[in-house]
Amino acid sequence: MLISLDPQDTRPIYVQIVDEVRRALVLGTLGADDPLPSVRDLAVKLRVNPNTVSQAYRDLERQGMVYVRRGQGTYASPGQQGGAERRLLADGVAERALHEARRNGLTVEELIEAIRFHDNQRSSEESQ
């Protein structure tokens, strides 16, 4: 499982970790009952405080995304790869896009138009 943090992102680091795990579940790179990296290993890899990773893992456990086996580690919960989780991921992306659009003085319509333009441009490039 690949977790990357964006230093330019205004969200707290633990929230970015939660979102990265959620993304891995939706994309299928993290399957049911797959182990997550240990708190210490992930903290070293990401160069963050282990308490930050612990906070993210506790949040994921509260949400039912992961479960803990005492003495063994943290694992992805079964049934988290479905449409409901995908919808939550899409909602988060939409919320961040709206926030950035408004912060830059754009309307919702301008944002939607830009998204459609870039999606059509990407589609035409892929078909060539």
Q: What residues make up the domain containing 34?
A: 13-76
Mean pLDDT of 67-72: 94
**Co-location of 69 and 94 in the same domain:** no
SS3 75: strand
Domain of residue 41, CATH code: 1.10.10.10
**Angle formed at CA 117 by CA 125 and CA 21, multiple of 5 degrees:** 80
Beta-bridged to residue 68, according to DSSP, are: 74
- Count of domains observed in the chain: 2
| Domain shared by 45 and 98, yes or no | no
Distance of CA 77 to the CA centre of its chain: 16
In a domain, 58, yes or no: yes
In a domain, 65, yes or no: yes
Q: What is the pLDDT of residues 28-67, one digit of tens each?
A: 888 889 999 999 999 999 999 999 999 999 999 998 899 9
Does one domain contain both 71 and 91?
no
- pLDDT tens readout for residues 79-105: 755 566 677 777 878 888 888 899 899
Alpha helix (H) residue ranges in the chain: 13-27, 39-46, 50-62, 83-103, 108-127
Helix (H, G, I), strand (E, B) or coil at 117: helix
- Give the Cα separation of 80 and 123 in Å (integer): 29
- For residue 8, pLDDT over 80 is answered with yes
